[in-house]
Structure 1
Amino acid sequence: MIQVKAPGKLYIAGEYAVTEPGYKSVLIAVDRFVTATIEEASVAEGTIHSKTLHHEPISFQREEDHIVVSDTNAANQLKYVITAVEVFEQYAKSCGKALKHFDLVIDSNLDDVSGHKYGLGSSAAVLVSVIKVLNEFYELDLANLNIYKLAVIANMKLQSLSSCGDIAVSVFTGWLAYSTFDHDWVMQQIETSSVAEVVKKNWPGLYTEPLQAPENMEVLIGWTGSPASSPYLVSEVKRLKSDPDFYGRFLEQSQSCVERLIYAFKTNNLKGVQSMIRRNRSIIQQMDKEANVDIETPQLKLLCDIAETYGAAAKTSGAGGGDCGIAITGDHTERASIYKSWRASEIKPLPFHVYQGQ
């Protein structure tokens, strides 16, 4: 039996701009996981079991490059798992691997106990966990970059608006600077080339760089209890492209801010990190006002304002509109006060930590 885990994520800075190729963001992997377990099947049939979807194991067959399950409803619910398996096995066959029957189990603790989503990128972690466990099962020993690319190819077959930063940090873990690739170019490659050929190519715009946090820096995470719809919010913000002057200005301001944030990381400058977190919040607030989509909801504003009263630098995380906010502090004594005030305002502190990989 083989078991692997893929962490969830939170954006720290660069949201929305990161959907454009070449514009940088900073993310963290958090110590909450999707876990994938696999073992070779004892019969000539495979099964997939997603514990979080409350399914009994679903049997599957292969038809050419496709995984086919008899239960249509289950097939839809398991589409991320199934697509990841299909993409990986196309790659494995190109490497001369004979396909095997297996039993695959997926479990997750990325949501709260009642099933509410924290916004930690569960779909990305599912894709990554499946690719990682199949990589070990078929003994391909793939580099992280290739695991990322395979998960992205599966993701692009299912949706097109994601920057795939959540996939990147789920693979590389820790603190990560990231910019996305040219989506049109990659999609064209997917449509005209084999999976192996797409993985082998250099992807224009793609950038990943691990970062080391300044000494004594701590990330506090608060959850509003209200889920956000990232695809809707991103699509609404994309409308700002109709005003190229404003949208271009937003992109350049975000890029400059994130570049300075990355420099603060590299120079062990906590105050510089906090300054750029505040600057990024202001840039996103300006864009939010122009797009009129309520990225920083009243509850997220309260979360940030509470943290700021205790000297922390705070902002929304990810698409906003609900889900989580983050606060950056260098004084560990502030944590208890911020948590207490958040709780009093019905904001749930999430005691998660940055996950640095296995």
Structure 2
Amino acid sequence: MTSGRTVVRSAPGKLFVTGEYAVVEPGTPAIVVAVDREITATVTLSETADIVISSDLVPRAVNWRWLDGRLHAPGTENGEADGHGARGALRHVVAAVETVGRLLAERGLPMPGLDLSIGSRLHDNGRKYGLGSSGAVTVATIDAITSLCGLDLSPDARYRLAVISSVGIDPVGSGGDLAASTWGGWIAYQAPDRAFVLDLTRRYGIEEALRTPWPGHSVRRLPAPRGLALEVGWTGNPASTASLVSGLHRRIWRGTASHRAFVETSTDFVRASITALEAGDDQSLLYQIRRARRELARLDDEVGLGIFTPELTALCTVAETVGGAAKPSGAGGGDCGIALLDAEAMHDISHVRQRWAAAGVLPLPVRPAPEGTEK
């Protein structure tokens, strides 16, 4: 490979349409849509063996060196400690680089020195919108580096590498963001058993994990709604999906009768939503999204997670006054909510945006991203 060669790859962010929280259980369905804001990874071959990473979320480029298969940043404050300093700020990028390095090593190939630059349209002056930036940066980084190194990987293989990279950082994450960032468009998603994936990778290596079927996992494309517009509102308050999902499980909820009922109900309205999308039945889809909102509210009342903030409650109420359907997207507690509104009722859409702004919700000019190109 020639020094100076550059590859640029982008990956879109995501929104959960329905099925959040339940989707962390392997094999439980959700609907996720990719959005037209993205993270871009630009990677250039360098003459040294180091990995230099720069990002618009950190003040300066950080120089990383390999030691026993891991990246370390000597000379930076706490740079070698997970969750702190350089590694903490860039943990998803670093994990993605390390994962590709492990795959290359298994194939008897060297990891070249790289200059890696990350640019994001998924935040506002460092405040994340809640559009899946961690997943998008993981997917974009893996795509860019594997392409530069001449690895001809399918979307499924790139998604699997992203899951392997992410599971050590966030074992409770479903990977729905990774799937949306990989395939684009609207997708029906079922999470794999991440404990199985982690054990498989540790025992047999990444190559075997790319070949072996993963229990519970499924991805398939869905058509977009025929006559509905997807509107997105941002509360201005970032939320941690990992903290909210972990907090739910710490409440000794998982495995209870209430947990089983929630997963069963979620599975039912997600499957009904998939059927509605495939049939082009917008009214049925609106009904199922309202069911999803009610079930999330019931869960919030029972467990006290704080899924519904005043802003998210207002976002939903306003959308329903014009006949739409709305709900928090993802874990709630801040971040974004979504609404499905009659695409031809421009007066209603304008009314909703104005009412959202008055309630402290910023309407985001975000639209579904197109399906990705198969490689």
Say if 2:358 is the partner of 1:344: yes
**For residues 115 and 40 of structure 1, what CA distance do their matches in structure 2 show?**
28
Other-structure match for 2:325: 313
5 Å matches for 1:1-358? 1-55=6-60, 57-70=61-74, 71=76, 72=79, 73-112=85-124, 114-238=125-249, 239=251, 241=253, 244-332=256-344, 333=346, 334-356=348-370, 357=372
| CA deviation string 1:192-226 (max 9, x = no partner) | 12111112111000011111113222100011111
Letter of the structure 1 residue corresponding to residue 17 of structure 2: I
Partner amino acid for 2:40?
T
Distance 1:44-1:94 versus aligned 2 partners, 3 A rule: closer
Letter in 1 for 2:354: K
Q: Could you give the per-residue CA deviations for residues 55-112 of structure 1, whole angstroms, max 9, x where no partner exists?
A: 2x22222234222221212233222111111111111232343321121111111011
- Rounded to whole Å, the distance in 1 between the matches of 2:48 and 2:350 is 54
CA contact (8 A) 1:240 1:247 kept: no
Q: Please report how far the alpha carbon of residue 43 of structure 1 lies from its aligned counterpart in structure 2 after TM superposition.
A: 4.0
Deviation of the 1:242 alpha carbon: 5.6
Deviation at 1:190, TM superposition (A): 2.4
CA distance in 2, matches of 1:130, 1:313: 35
Alignment TM-score, normalising by the size of structure 2: 0.91
Structure 1: 5+ residue stretches without partners? none
CA contact (8 A) 2:55 2:118 kept: yes
Identity, % of aligned pairs? 36
| Post-superposition CA distance 1:97-147 (Å, at most 9, x none) | 3321121111111011x3221111111111111100012101111011111
Does the 8 Å contact 1:240/1:291 carry over to 2? no
**CA distance, structure 1, for counterparts of residue 266 and residue 252 of structure 2:** 15
Worse-matched range after superposition: 239-248 or 272-281: 239-248
The 3-state SS of whatever aligns with 1:329 is strand
The whole-number CA distance in structure 2 between the counterparts of 1:256 and 1:27 is 16
Q: Is the 8 A contact 1:254 1:280 kept in 2?
A: yes
Could you say what secondary structure the match of 1:276 adopts? Answer: helix
RMSD across aligned C-alpha pairs, in angstroms? 1.5
| Structure 1 ranges of 4+ moved more than 6 A | none
Question: 5+ unaligned residues in a row in structure 2: which ranges?
Answer: 1-5, 80-84
Check the 8 A contact 2:170/2:242 in 1, yes or no. Answer: no
Give the 3 Å change call, closer, same or farther, for CA 242–151 of structure 1 in structure 2: closer
The normalised TM-score by structure 1 is: 0.95
Q: 2:168 & 2:362 partners in 1: Cα distance?
A: 35
Distance 1:331 1:80, change over 3 A: closer
